[in-house]
Amino acid sequence: MADLVAYLARQLVDDPDAVRVEEEERDDAVVLRLHVAQEDVGKVIGRQGRLARALRAIVRAGGARQRRRVILEIAG
């Protein structure tokens, strides 16, 4: 799942080398923390958060397939 998020984020940003995804296990969920260059944060979030919502929906659907709760956090 982290690889998919990284791939999608690289397609959206101007500096694809700065994209990295950290995976963290919490109590009942897996948290994917997406890091991008500071100037690319807006491109990943999108207008009114549409791209961020779409990325989170993809992650949630993938997690449902694995019967795990997956959360996407976007960090600058």
Q: For residue range 58-75, list pLDDT tens digits in order.
A: 999 999 988 999 999 999
Closest Cα to residue 73, out of 26, 15, 14, 11?
Answer: 26
Q: For residue range 16-58, list pLDDT tens digits in order.
A: 999 999 999 998 899 999 999 999 999 999 999 999 999 999 9
pLDDT grade, residue 14 (50/70/90)?
Answer: very high
Which residue segment(s) compose the domain that 63 sits in? 2-75
Give the number of other CB atoms < 10 A from CB of residue 17.
8
pTM for this model (two decimals): 0.91
Looking up tokens 């260059």, which residue turns up? 37
CATH number assigned to the domain comprising residue 27:
3.30.300.20
- For the chain, what is the domain count? 1
